[in-house]
């Protein structure tokens, strides 16, 4: 794809997201915009960011969310065993009924994250607004968090990096994972994957504040049946899945 093309796509994407945001999901978007916080102001513990993924709307051949994540975060997008994948598409077949499901899988942003518990240096940490991150200056690259994560959400940077994005710093020899597009969220925007999914017309990913009873996501979680992956572990994840 040419640069022109991608610029144009980005422009269309942004404007359509804005229009969609104002018209289709006003509760969610307006709320988020109102939460864009000035530089220097700490994240608020009043919010808990999360996602509701509607697997019935997720299309099996589609990987727009993955592409958008790679683009937003400057990931090369390889799918080899040593490549970083912050978000991946998982295909499921029910062993009893044969029913097929497709869903995006990423860091589940647990309220009780095992990666944070096991990290020897405190590099793995949870922000007060529920986003689980790695401080790449503190990470020593021991990979214990990768061993501890029940969702295999983390990747290790196996090779020297080039062309990093200024607002998504990364580091060779450290561990990384989905940041819930923290740079966008702090600007009051939604995540790249949710935006791309919406743009592709699926609207399978709903991002928002789980603590606000009036947010779109909270309302929907109250209305529909959703589950959290490996809920038996009691990690209180920020990601909910519908239709599983």
Task: Tell me whether residue 152 or residue 165 sits nearer to another protein (CB atom).
Answer: 152
Among 82, 128, 164, 231, binds another protein (CB under 8 A): 82
Binding mask 89-108 for another protein (x = CB under 8 A): xxxxxxxx----x---x---
Supply the angle between the helices 26-34 and 3-23 in degrees, to the nearest 10: 110
* Residue 141 in the binding site for ligand SF4 (CB under 6 A): yes
CA atoms within 13 A on the CB side of 158: 10
As to burial, measured by CB atoms within 10 angstroms (0-12 exposed, 13-18 middle, 19+ buried), residue 202 is: middle
Report, in Å, the least distance between residue 141 CB and ligand SF4: 5
Q: Give SS3 for 24.
A: coil
144 binds ligand SF4 per the rule CB under 6 A: yes
113: left (phi over 0), alpha (psi -120 to 50) or beta: beta
Least Å from the CB of residue 218 to another protein: 25
Which of ligand SF4, another protein, none does residue 178 bind to, with CB < 5 to 8 Å depending on kind?
Answer: none
Nearer to ligand SF4, 12 or 147 (CB): 147
Taking the C-alpha atoms of residue 154 and residue 166, their distance in angstroms, rounded to an integer, is 21
Minimum separation from the CB atom of position 199 to another protein (A)? 21
3-class DSSP assignment, residue 61: coil
Residue 84 Cβ vs ligand SF4, minimum distance, rounded to whole Å: 13
CA distances from 124 to 22, 67, 116, 167, 211 (A): 35, 25, 5, 19, 23
Q: What backbone torsions phi and psi does residue 194 show, to the nearest 5 degrees?
A: -65, -40
Least spacing, CB of residue 125 vs ligand SF4, in Å: 9
Contacting residues toward another protein, per CB under 8 A: 79, 81-85, 88-96, 101, 105, 114, 116-123, 138-144, 146-152, 154-160, 171-175, 229-230, 233, 244
Residues that bind ligand SF4 (CB under 6 A): 118-121, 123-124, 134, 139-145, 174-175
């Amino acid at each position: 794809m040419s640069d022109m093309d991608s610029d144009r796509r980005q422009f269309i994407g942004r404007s359509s997201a804005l229009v969609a945001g104002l018209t289709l999901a006003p509760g969610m978007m307006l709320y988020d915009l109102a939460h864009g916080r000035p530089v220097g102001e700490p994240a608020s513990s009043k919010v808990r960011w999360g996602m509701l993924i509607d697997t019935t709307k997720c299309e099996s051949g589609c990987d727009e969310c993955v592409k958008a994540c790679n683009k937003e975060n400057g990931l090369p997008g390889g799918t080899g065993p040593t490549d970083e994948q912050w978000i991946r598409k998982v295909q499921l077949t029910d062993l009893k009924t044969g029913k097929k499901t497709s869903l995006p899988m990423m860091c589940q942003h647990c309220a009780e994250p095992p990666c944070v518990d096991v990290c020897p240096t405190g590099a793995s940490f949870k922000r007060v607004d529920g986003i689980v991150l790695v401080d790449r200056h503190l990470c020593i690259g021991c990979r214990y968090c990768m061993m501890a994560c029940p969702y295999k959400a983390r990747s290790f940077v196996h090779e020297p990096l080039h062309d990093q994005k200024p607002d998504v710093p990364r580091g060779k020899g450290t561990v990384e994972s989905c940041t819930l597009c923290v740079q966008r969220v702090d600007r009051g925007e939604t995540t790249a994957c949710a935006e791309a999914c919406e743009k592709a017309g699926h609207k399978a990913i709903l991002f928002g504040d789980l603590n606000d009873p009036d947010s779109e996501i909270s309302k929907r979680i109250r209305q529909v049946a959703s589950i959290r992956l490996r809920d038996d572990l009691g990690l209180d994840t920020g990601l909910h899945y519908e239709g599983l």
